[in-house]
Structure 1
Amino acid sequence: MTHYSPLVDTYPQYPFEIVSGNGMHVTDAEGNIYLDLYGGHAVCGIGHSHPHLVAAIYEQAQKLFFYSNLTRLSIRTRAAEELLKFANSHLASVFFCNSGAEANENALRIALQLTHRTQIASLYGSFHGRST
C-alpha cells in the first residue's frame, strides 16, 4: 500500500483503483470485479448506480444541487417528512448533517440538553468523528 497521489495520506490505500460500481459490485481499473462489503467509512450502503437513484439525483441536479439551510427547500422538507414517517417515532423534527463528526457533535449537544447534564464519557483512542 503506497501513497500515489497529492491527497493527504489519511489511511493506507490498497494498490488498486475502483473506477465504477453497479448494484453490490465495484470494478477496478484492471477490470476485476469485487463484491462491495465495505463502500466507505460511515456511509449508507445502498449499492451503486441504481437507475432510480441515478435518475432522481440527475433530475434534482438539473434544478439545484445544493443550497444552504438558511432558506427553505421543498426537497429538504420532503426528505425530513419521509424520514420521520419511516422512523415511525414521536420525534417532530430532523437535523441533516454533512458528516459523522457533525452528527456526533449535535447528538451530544442534544443529549446534554435533554438530560440537563454537563459532562460526557468517551473512550480514549476511539473514533468519534473527524474533527478537532
Structure 2
Amino acid sequence: MYPSLAIAWVEADVLNLPFEDNQFDAATMGYGLRNVTDIPRCLKELHRVLKIGAKAAILDFHRPTDSTARAFQQWYLGNLVVPIAEQLGLKEEYAYISPSLDRFPTGKKQVEIALKVGFTAATHYPIANGMMGVLVVNKA
C-alpha cells in the first residue's frame, strides 16, 4: 500500500517562490511562461527550487514559423477566439494572446535562456504545427 500523499495548493509569485532550494522532484507550468514579466528570472527561480536530477516541462502557445500555420493562428484568434470571448464578456482575457505571442521567445531562444540560467539540458518540442510547444529542462 502506498503512503497517503497530500497536495497543498500554494499561490505564489513565480519570480520569488516561497520554497527552499532543491525542494521538488519535478515541476510543470501551463500557459504561464508567456505571461511572466521576466522569463530568465522565472526559469532561474524554477531551477533554484528543483532538486538535482529533477525535470520541468513548460507548455505554452507559440507563433509558428510556418507562414500558413501562422496565418491560420492569427485568423483563428482574431476571427473566432476574441469575438466569441467578447460575446461572453471576456474580451480582455483573450485579446492579449496574439500580442503576447509576438513578444514570446521562440523555442530555440527558450532553450538558450534555460541553459544560461543553469539548466544542464533543455529541449523544446513544437506541437500542433508549432502553435504550441513544450520546453523540457533538466537540472543535474
> What is the TM-score normalised by the length of structure 1?
0.23
The two structures have a TM-score, normalised by structure 2, of 0.22
Q: Give the number of the structure whose residues are more often helix, by fraction.
A: 2
Kindly indicate whether structure 1 or structure 2 has the higher relative contact order, using CA contacts under 8 Å at least 6 residues apart.
Answer: 2
Larger Rg: 1 or 2? 1
